[in-house]
Structure 1
Amino acid sequence: MAEIKTLVKRRKSAKNIQKITKTMALIAAAKFKVASRKVTAAKPYAESLNKLVADLMSRDSSLSHPLASKNEKVQNVAVIVVASNRGFCGSYNTHVVNHAEREIQQLKDEGKNVFLHVVGKKAASIYHSGSGSKELHTDLEDAKYDNVYSLAETLVDQYLNKEVDEVRVIFTEYISATQQKTKATTFLPFPIDEYQGEGTSGNYEVYPDVNEVLNYVVPQSIYSNLYRIFLESSVSEHVNRMIAMNKATDNAAEMIKDLTRLYNRARQAQITNELSEIMGAVRSLKK
């Protein structure tokens, strides 16, 4: 009897967990749709700005911009680690932190000073203690443009003031709903080499002056790049949580099925024992 009560409690708990995980999967799916639309809208804009900058600077080798100029000696490197504020998203945060650890260790092995900017409570809890210069950012959830812009401005100021020689970002690139990739990319200086080989349009005129246009376009391109990175991280987080919660819901269903089978067997055994006791009592009375 005690075993049956235990199985009933366990099955009830599994059903409650299944309801929670199913609800979380539905919420993650809704957030994923909204975030994926933002990525779809922001990515072409950021790529067009990047190609425009590369196009303008490829026209004249004498053209330059402080945010697109590489430092001869890279000693101080700022590293932005973009994780999430919430858990239950599979191995999303683990992959980001592991990739960041490898990147940081490689930079230290090269004798460089690393300054961390940790985004998300999950990564912040890991980097909260320990030595080294770091800034914790836990208010950048859902990639709000104003907050991302503020962080980008801070990094741009540090780069222009020679406080850092390079800024790198570790994030999760969103490729499709079934494929996300953790990667490191250069945020500052502007990675012009990545876009110069993609061809130029050459079908526009620059007014009033190329330098003036560059002074406006380069910072805008840099800000939009960081915003796109945060959007891709956000949509990757949501799709990973959706997948993880769907798997948890399926596992709960399997557990409920197994517990139901055990309950039926235990109940059947109990009924058989009770019938045996009744039949034994009847035979005793007849004697």
Structure 2
Amino acid sequence: MSSNPKDIKRRIISIESVIKTTEAMKMISVVKSKKSKEIFMNIKYYLDHIELIFSELISTLLTEEKIENKYFHSSNGKKLFIVFTSNRGLCGSFNSSIFEKINIILQKKHFSYKNCIFFCIGKKGFDFLSKKYNMYDNLIENFNEKKIKFLIKKLISDFFKNTISSIYLVYNSLKNSLLQKIIVEKFLPIKKIKNLCKHKESKNFILEPSKNEIINYIIPKILFIKLKKTFSESLTAEHTARMISMHKATENASHIKNDLILNYNKERQTTITKEILEIIGGLDSLQIK
């Protein structure tokens, strides 16, 4: 570190500008986190009720030996991982923890390197995974409802063609404001739901026009809401991670600033002391003469 007071002063000014930037980014992340969390909770509430209705509907079909529907059966195609990452950095271990999880998944026996393909929602994930693994499709910019619907149609089409055997969602789940957990959730095929109405009277639904047609209609709706919910949850976790990261950055910058101020005062005091000693020395030499 330079001992020149002017250099230290310049560093203090630059650190102050960093603190203003990180503090502003923290406040922006706080606002965005609250908005995205509210949207996420509304979508989750809606999805929970749809899945409850769907589970009751499916429970009536479990009396049959098999459910003859493609949504419930896998094939010998490739396994697709839909990975949710951020478009920008400065969010701590939000992205790196997902990449570590993917490396762990690929070390398992039933997930081979050649049999897995990836689709990324977020530039950071695409930049990292496209260099190492096979990609399902290019990056989709500005992910929204229309693009979610388009993606769902494409996924279902490839799943029915047996190009894809199963689909998994990999994303950050926000447990609380300080803790995030990486979730690997099966998206397709749909698990055969066990009878959730064991303690209730069995319901006999009258289904028109047919069971399969109703299932084929309702499942894409559920998949759409589930993908939208996952995206919203990942976005909430991203804003929260960035808020925490910027808060820590502000604290670290404040510590550096305090150390610099202390060093600046020491150097300034040393300079003043030297000047006083020089003046005294000059006066003594004049008196001797």
TM, length-normalised to structure 1: 0.89
User: What corresponds to 1:21 in structure 2?
Assistant: 22
User: What corresponds to 1:136 in structure 2?
Assistant: 138
Does residue 70 (structure 1) correspond to residue 73 (structure 2)? The answer is: yes
Counterpart-to-counterpart distance in 2, 1:204 and 1:175: 38
Q: Secondary structure at the match of 1:169?
A: strand
Q: Secondary structure at the match of 2:237?
A: helix
Q: Does the Cα contact within 8 Å between 2:23 and 2:246 map onto a contact in 1? A: yes
Does residue 214 (structure 1) correspond to residue 212 (structure 2)? The answer is: no
User: What corresponds to 2:165 in structure 1?
Assistant: 165
Q: Which sits farther off after the overlay, 277-286 or 174-183? A: 174-183
Change (3 A) 1:210 1:249: farther
Change (3 A) 1:65 1:257: farther
Change (3 A) 1:228 1:67: farther
Change (3 A) 1:131 1:177: closer
User: What corresponds to 1:96 in structure 2?
Assistant: 98
Q: Deviation digits for residues 156-187 of structure 1, max 9, x if unmatched? A: 11111211110111111122323221111101
Q: Secondary structure at the match of 1:117?
A: strand
User: What corresponds to 2:47 in structure 1?
Assistant: 46
Counterpart-to-counterpart distance in 1, 2:244 and 2:123: 21
The structure with the greater share of residues assigned to helix is 1
Change (3 A) 1:58 1:109: closer
Counterpart-to-counterpart distance in 1, 2:253 and 2:224: 43
RMSD value, Cα: 2.5
Change (3 A) 1:9 1:199: farther
- The alpha carbon displacement at 1:147 in A equals 1.8
Which amino acid in structure 2 is aligned with residue 215 of structure 1? Answer: N
Counterpart-to-counterpart distance in 1, 2:246 and 2:68: 47
Does residue 263 (structure 1) correspond to residue 240 (structure 2)? The answer is: no
Q: Secondary structure at the match of 1:106?
A: coil
Q: Secondary structure at the match of 2:28?
A: helix
Counterpart-to-counterpart distance in 2, 1:39 and 1:107: 35
Which amino acid in structure 1 is aligned with residue 224 of structure 2? Answer: Y
Change (3 A) 1:44 1:148: same
Q: Secondary structure at the match of 2:171?
A: strand
Contiguous gaps of at least 5 residues in structure 2: none
Counterpart-to-counterpart distance in 1, 2:102 and 2:231: 16
Q: Secondary structure at the match of 2:230?
A: helix
Aligned residues: 283
Which amino acid in structure 1 is aligned with residue 138 of structure 2? Answer: L
Contiguous gaps of at least 5 residues in structure 1: none
Q: Deviation digits for residues 72-127 of structure 1, max 9, x if unmatched? A: x5442111111110000000000111112222343665586112112211111112
Which amino acid in structure 2 is aligned with residue 28 of structure 1? Answer: S
User: What corresponds to 1:153 in structure 2?
Assistant: 153
User: What corresponds to 2:176 in structure 1?
Assistant: 176
Which amino acid in structure 2 is aligned with residue 44 of structure 1? Answer: Y
TM, length-normalised to structure 2: 0.89
Counterpart-to-counterpart distance in 1, 2:231 and 2:70: 20
User: What corresponds to 1:32 in structure 2?
Assistant: 33
Counterpart-to-counterpart distance in 2, 1:16 and 1:67: 58
